[in-house]
Amino acid sequence: MAGIYIHVPFCYTRCSYCDFYKTTDQQFKDEYIKALCKEIDNQSAFLLKERIETIYFGGGTPSTLSVSELKIILDHINQYTSLKEVIELTLEVNPDDVNETYIKGIVELGVNRLSMGIQSFFDGHLRQMNRRHNAQQAAEAIQIAKENGIDNMSIDLIYGLPYMQFDEWQANVRMAIESKVQHISAYHLTFEKGTLYYDYLKKGKLKEVPEAASVKQFDYLVKELKNAGFDHYEISNFALPGLESKHNSNYWTGIKYIGLGPSAHSFDGTNRRWNISHVQKYIKALETDSAYYEDEMLTEVDRYNELIMLGLRTSKGFLMEAMQQFNTSIIQFFEAELTNQLSKSNVLVKNAFCCVAEDKKMITDRIISDFFYVEEE
């Protein structure tokens, strides 16, 4: 089961926390679509060979593209692989881009899943993050999508905000549940270099939330969503049974996918490649048949570390027998670290899978780091 990720780099404004590649300059949109279609042509061998079952428009803000612009892209993909075989077609949207006409238009194109960037149901938080929508628009956008053909919807929330009180986080979780969406992604705020919030942190205008407060918010989230019937299938993702993101699950299980557009990444089972993170340079390279990406073949150590990193993020974990593909040094290192983590009750081995213990999910990144194998110089 292969997937396609399409990076749409355009945004109307810059959110204070976001470090994904994007531009607020809309003037290159037509040229971007032409270049994207040429990259699709370049990837025709993959598209003709693989059965494509998921397509994901991410960004940036994919809902800056009109229905007709999205149609151009999907029609071009359809020249090489049948869109009728795509079982999940996701579009990321901002609430203020949602209206009845737009939703009906994208549903007609085949979009059957939305990922909506809510982040918070409090206007004060949204203003601090420089989000374009307000809380009322968020609630209305969810309802409009439901009423016009979307019955599989994910919303994003952010916790660990320095200016958010615990009772406000409780209210955010409650409102997310009451919105009757099928999927909730919740991410802890990180201060990424190059963002406004990173500058604020360095200047002392913002402070990181104490770890105890973060753990309290995370524990509340997990408990309430579990009580509401959501499966905690990946460290930041919760879904009603059977409605996990198929596309994102491909990443965590090592399925092949291609990435289209500036900054998009691809994986063919043995090689990773990443496109240039600059829309004008991306367009120019496609126009002139120049290199627009770099790539690398994964080493044995890379493959081991990726198995650890991706597998331990999921509730199921990774198959223990997967370790048999690696050399003796890696296996011995893994077994020693496994014994260490088991002694701390940080991980479990059940049904032939190794996974992070439920009560240790908050320190998953730390556990993953301990399992990483570093080659000696």
pTM (predicted TM-score): 0.95
**Topology of the domain comprising 2-252:** TIM Barrel (3.20.20)
113/149 Cα distance (integer angstroms):
10
16/46 Cα distance (integer angstroms):
37
Q: Tell me the backbone φ, ψ of residue 348, rounded to 5 degrees.
A: -130, 150
Does residue 318 have a pLDDT over 90? yes
| Average pLDDT over the chain, rounded to an integer | 96
55/6 Cα distance (integer angstroms):
8
Q: Each residue of 195-204: pLDDT tens digit? A: 999 999 999 9
Tell me the percentage of the chain whose pLDDT exceeds 90: 96
Classify each residue of 282-298 as buried b or exposed e, where b means 16 or more C-beta atoms within 10 Å of its C-beta.
bbebbeeeeebbeeeee
Q: Residue 239 corresponds to which tokens in the numbers above?
A: 């879904």
Q: Residue 375 corresponds to which tokens in the numbers above?
A: 């080659």
Max Cα separation, the chain?
A: 59
213/340 Cα distance (integer angstroms):
27
- The answer to whether 356 and 347 are in contact (CB under 8 A) is yes
Chain centroid offset of residue 180 CA: 21
Instruction: Please report the pLDDT score of residue 253 as a whole number.
Output: 84
Instruction: Please report the pLDDT score of residue 252 as a whole number.
Output: 87
* 268 contact partners, CB below 8 Å, separation of at least 6: 46, 256
Instruction: Please report the pLDDT score of residue 179 as a whole number.
Output: 97
Q: Each residue of 141-198: pLDDT tens digit? A: 999 999 999 999 999 999 999 999 999 999 999 999 999 999 999 999 999 999 999 9
Does residue 90 have a pLDDT over 80? yes
- The answer to whether 171 and 217 are in contact (CB under 8 A) is no
Tell me the percentage of the chain whose pLDDT exceeds 70: 99
* 40 contact partners, CB below 8 Å, separation of at least 6: 47, 73, 76, 77, 79, 80, 260
> For the chain, how big is the Rg over CA atoms in Å?
21
Q: Tell me the backbone φ, ψ of residue 81, rounded to 5 degrees.
A: -150, 140
The alpha helices in 162-260, defined as continuous H runs, are: 166-178, 196-203, 211-227, 246-253
Q: Indicate the domain borders of the chain.
A: 2-252, 300-371
Return the SS3 of 312: coil
Chain centroid offset of residue 371 CA: 23
Question: What does DSSP say about strands 237-239 and 271-275: parallel, antiparallel, or unpaired?
Answer: unpaired
Q: What's the pLDDT band for 88 if we cut at 50, 70, 90?
A: very high
Q: Each residue of 242-295: pLDDT tens digit? A: 999 999 999 888 899 999 999 999 999 889 999 999 999 999 999 999 999 999
| Residue 62: Cβ-neighbour burial (10 angstroms; 0-12, 13-18, 19+) | buried
Q: What's the pLDDT band for 377 if we cut at 50, 70, 90?
A: low
